[in-house]
Structure formats: structure tokens, C-alpha cells
Structure 1
Amino acid sequence: MTPRTLWTYQKERFPLAKTAPLLAVFSSASIAVSAEMAGRPLPGPGAFLAGFVVALLLFFQMRVCDEWKDLDDDRRLRPDRPIPRGLISLRAVLTLGAASLPLAALAAWAWHPPVLWLLALVWVWLAAMTLEFGFPAWLKARPILYLVSHMAIMPLIDLLLTAMEWLPSGTPAPGLVLFLALSFVNGCVLEIGRKLWSPEAEIAGVDSYSALWGPGWAALVWSGCVVVSFALLMGVALVTGAFWITLTLGGAMALVCLASAASYARAPTPAAQKRMDTMAGLWVFACYALAGFAPLIVRLI
């Protein structure tokens, strides 16, 4: 395992240039929203640093778990991926994942040791997900339940991140449930958006929502998730006092997303597939940026 090997692996399976900025906004917005909803001042920079490190390592651990869980399918159906083609061994990836566990625990402990209990809760759910809750065939035969059970980790991660702010202060803000629900729906936006493929990109035996429902219905479901996400975002904005700026900027972004989905439904080309994946990421990025930082902008202006 050389530095060049690791660089190639991260580019293909955990692209830091794309992932790190999204997780920086996700983690810092979670902490800021928690403070805004409770009417408390923002915590010190240590909370934001710890939140980013924990988020980055958790998402890497999720990737490592997927590598282990999907290895047989990858060998049969996606031999071009790094592990099946021999770029890097599964053992090396699992070693990196194991090494990241104490680093995440150290980051949480360094800020506020009781946060470790919530980190442990996320790890328990991640382990259950990796084992498909003990019923892999049954769960995979029920794609909606599969999606819901796996996306449930998103509000758990957000509960952990917001706890960087509220746990040292005592209790979470009552309205925080809106933000946790937003994280769940945004997880669905990302997951469905990355599996809206063009017909020529479909792989026999590999699940996608475009193959499951057809491009038109899959785009409609994705659009529905964006609409629900926008409604939850507006609920958060009502609590934080950033309603109008969120309505203007978030509404414009939602319309772009819906237009992209309509275009994909009409013509599910490779370009449209790539655009949907990009729009899913941009929508989630915009949601967290508006939820976390729009209240600060409102106060400045």
C-alpha cells in the first residue's frame, strides 16, 4: 500500500476534494443550527473542528463497511473497482477503517467526553447496517425499507454533531427534530440521486432506482424528496429567523433541482445522469449552508 495507491483509491471511492467541503458545511451547519435554535452563542472553534473530524471519519468508515459488504457483488458485477481489480486489498482498507475508529473517538473526547455515547450509538447502527440487520435477502427485496433503514444513520450522525453544541449546554432545542428530519430526507436525496442512471449505464444485477421504478417515476420520487426537504428547511428557517433569505435562495435552488429531474425524466442520457448526481450534492450542500449560516447573514444585514 503506497501513497500513490491510497491517492488513487480516495479519488475513486472517497474523493476528498468533493467530500471534505460538503462535510465541513454539514458539520459546522449542524453545530450552528443547534445554537441558533436554542438562542445560545456559537461554541468555540474546538467544537467545529471536532465535528468536522468526526464527520469525515464516520463517512470514511461507512465507505469501508460498504467495501466489505459489497465485495462479492463488486467482484462479479463491478470488477473495475479498486479492490476487485487489485489496486488495493480489502485488508488494507479495513485496516485504515479500524485505525480511524480511535481517531474519531479521540476527536469527540477532546471536545466533550460524553459525546462518545452518541458516537457509540452511530457505530452500533453502522454495524447493524453493514450486516443488513441480520436479514440481507429479505431487506434487499424491499428497496424502500432498505433505503429508510440505511438513511436512518443520517439523523443519528446529525444528533451526534449537534450534540457538540447542545450536550455541554444541557439539552437540545425543541425544534431540533426538524433539522434531524431534514438530514434523513437529504440522505434520501443523495442516495436516490446517485442511482438515477441512463439505460446504457445500468448493470444487470446492480440495484438502481431508475431500473427499479423507471426513469420517470424515479425522477418523480427524487423530486418529492427535494420538495419535502425544502419544506423542512423552511421549518428550520422559521425557528432560526432566516425565513425570507432561505425562501428566496432555497426556493430558487429547489426549482433548478426540479427542472433537472424533469429533464432527466424526459431523456435519461449519460449527461442527465451525471447532472442528477451533481444536483443531489448541490441541493444538500445548499440546504446545510442555508440552515446553518443564513441566520448569521440575517444578523449581519
Structure 2
Amino acid sequence: MLTNENNLPFFQRFLIYQKERFPFFSNGIFLMAFAFSAISYSRVCRGASGFVDWKLFVSAAITTISLFFLLRIVDEFKDREIDAAHRPQLPVPRGLISFRELKWLGWAAIAVQILVNLLFTPRMFGWLLVPQAFLVLMMFNFFVPDWLNRHWVAYVLSHMFFFPAIDMYSSGMDWYMEGPGHAPVGMVFFFAVSYINGLVWEVGRKIRTPENEEFNSYTKMYGLRKAVWIWMGVITLAFAMAVAASSYVNLGWLGAGLLLVIYGSSLLYGILFLRKPTVKLSRLIELASGGWGLLMYLTLGALPMILKWMGY
């Protein structure tokens, strides 16, 4: 006898929900690399030796993961009417998880952030408020929901500031907790890269073919070719900004070369999609958007730290 998944115990339903909407394992790896790279980049950028105290990294990693999970929950509330009307197959519209349960999960994520920072990094509470406050603004669409819904470009551009807001918190584990109290100049480029990478991810995950089109995809809004050109333009801008950021951690031609390989490999899927749009290639563009971000962050943050440890 088949069991209705909506009648399963909460923990089992939560496992299904996170698998579909926020896979903790894969997202956790990406976000730990995100936090590690932000800290490492700041550290190398200002010429400091070694890495930050392990407690600082643990605090940054756990807080970053929980902030992005909180973003997922905020989006569930913010998009509830749209999802119910256009995406009934998603976990919340189909009744797997209730909004009441999501609310408790959100409060649990906030409690984790407060507890971790209270235990390990109490001085970072002020910086933690930056992404938290931004999430509140996002939840209410900056208190101008009708205007933003009519101006989609402004909607997307405003929401992408969440990425550098988290970067400010994570990198602050170095420049604020163990440094001079202000971010090094190179962090401006790192923050800019994070912002643009948010756009790469946002556009890349919403490129579709006619047979798997969705109501809010960029291919539906702008047409197939224009949407792909927008994605390729944004990832090109991210590449240029990443090269600029690499110059502040003395990566030189090595950094530029690695970034070029990552960028070129990602861009190839867009070019192939323009020649022959397929569902498989649309999914590869989405994967490439995340892969570019992960490898780019590791190049900017982890690589210079490793080279420094090796004495180069």
C-alpha cells in the first residue's frame, strides 16, 4: 500500500523538501567554499599569514548555509501565489510542507545563526544584521512589490545585493575580526564578482527550451536567443571582474589563465545551445552557472592561499 508523502512524519517530509528545494549536502559544499574563499581572499589581499582561527570559519560556514536556507524559505512565502498558480508540483503547493512548518524552520535557522555567532563570534552580530535585514527587505519586495513586479530588471538587480551582503559578513571574519577593521581595497572587486555571479546563477537557471518552458523563464520573457545572449554577457562580465579581483592577490597570468579556462568551458554550453537548443543543454547551462561560481571562488580564494602556504 502506497503512503501519501504528505502524511509522513515531519522529518521524512523535510528530507524530501530539502532534496527538491535546498539539497544541504551539495549546497553546503558550495557555500563552505564560498565562505572559505571570501575569508582567504581577504587574508591574502591584505598580506596576512596563515588562516583565521577555526572558530571564525565554522561560524562563517554555518551562518552562510543557514542564511541561504533562510533565503529559500523567504522565497517560498514571497512566491506563494505564483507557485500555487503556475507550479503546483513544488513541495509547498502540493502540501508536503505547510507554511506554518516553514515559519518554524525559518525561526530555527535564525536561532542557529544567533547561537553560533554568540558562541564563536559575538563581535560579528552587527555584520550579521546586514544580510538578515536584507532578507526582510526581500521578503516584502522592498515595500514596493507592485512596482518591482512591473519592472523585472529592477526586481532582479535589487535582489542580487544579497550575495555581497553575505560576503561582507564572511570576509569580515578576517578583516574585521583579525584585521584592521575595514575591508582591503581588493574586496570591492570580490563583492562585485559575487553580485554579478548572482545574476549568472539567476539567468542560467531559467533558460528553457519550448518543450520545457516555464512561465517565469528568461527565454519566455526575452526569447530564446536573447536570453542566452544575456546569460553569456553576464558571465563575460563576471569573468572580467574576476580577473580584476585576481590581480589583488597576485595570481597574475596563472589566475587569468585558469579563469579563462573555466569561463570558456561554461560559455561553450551557451554557444552550443544557440546552435541547437535542447533540454539537456539548458540543464548544462544551469550546472555551468553554478560550476563557474564554485571554481571561480576557489581560484580567487583557495588558490592564492594554497600558493602562499607553499611559499610561492
State how far apart, in whole Å, the 2-side matches of 1:243 and 1:193 are: 29
User: What code does the residue aligned with 2:257 have?
Assistant: T
State the shift of 1:192 in Å. Answer: 0.6
Q: Percent identity?
A: 30
User: What code does the residue aligned with 1:101 have?
Assistant: I
1:258-277 correspondence runs (5 A)? 258-277=267-286
State how far apart, in whole Å, the 1-side matches of 2:173 and 2:190 are: 15
- Quote the residue 1:3 is aligned against: 11
State the shift of 1:215 in Å. Answer: 1.7
CA contact (8 A) 2:43 2:174 kept: yes
State the shift of 1:213 in Å. Answer: 1.3
Report the TM-score, using the length of structure 2 for normalisation.
Answer: 0.92
- Quote the residue 2:184 is aligned against: 173
Q: Give 2:28's match in structure 1, choosing from 1, 7, 20.
A: 20
Moved more, 109-118 or 192-201: 109-118
CA contact (8 A) 1:216 1:266 kept: no
Quick one: structure 1 residues 294 and 244, their matched pair in 2 at CA, closer, same or farther if it must change by over 3 Å? farther
Is 1:114 paired with 2:110?
no
State the shift of 1:297 in Å. Answer: 3.4
Q: Give 1:133's match in structure 2, choosing from 135, 142, 146.
A: 142
User: What code does the residue aligned with 1:192 have?
Assistant: V
Is 1:185 paired with 2:193?
no
Q: Give 1:198's match in structure 2, choosing from 205, 209, 229.
A: 209
- Quote the residue 1:83 is aligned against: 92
For structure 1, the 5+ residue unaligned runs are none
State how far apart, in whole Å, the 1-side matches of 2:169 and 2:96 are: 34
- Quote the residue 1:251 is aligned against: 260
What SS does the aligned partner of 1:43 have? coil
CA contact (8 A) 1:175 1:239 kept: yes
State the shift of 1:57 in Å. Answer: 0.2
CA contact (8 A) 1:223 1:257 kept: no
For structure 2, the 5+ residue unaligned runs are 1-8
State the shift of 1:298 in Å. Answer: 2.7
State how far apart, in whole Å, the 1-side matches of 2:55 and 2:290 are: 27
What SS does the aligned partner of 2:184 have? coil
Report the TM-score, using the length of structure 1 for normalisation.
Answer: 0.96
State the shift of 1:89 in Å. Answer: 1.0
- Quote the residue 2:243 is aligned against: 234
State the shift of 1:103 in Å. Answer: 1.0
- Quote the residue 2:73 is aligned against: 64
User: What code does the residue aligned with 2:189 have?
Assistant: L
State the shift of 1:200 in Å. Answer: 1.7
What SS does the aligned partner of 2:183 have? coil
Task: Tell me how large the CA RMSD over aligned residues is.
Answer: 1.3
State how far apart, in whole Å, the 2-side matches of 1:58 and 1:75 are: 25
What SS does the aligned partner of 2:122 have? coil
State how far apart, in whole Å, the 2-side matches of 1:78 and 1:13 are: 13
State how far apart, in whole Å, the 1-side matches of 2:266 and 2:200 are: 11
Moved more, 261-270 or 97-106: 261-270
CA contact (8 A) 1:242 1:298 kept: no
State the shift of 1:50 in Å. Answer: 0.8
CA contact (8 A) 2:17 2:97 kept: yes
State how far apart, in whole Å, the 2-side matches of 1:270 and 1:138 are: 33
Aligned residues: 299
CA contact (8 A) 2:31 2:65 kept: yes
State how far apart, in whole Å, the 2-side matches of 1:222 and 1:291 are: 22
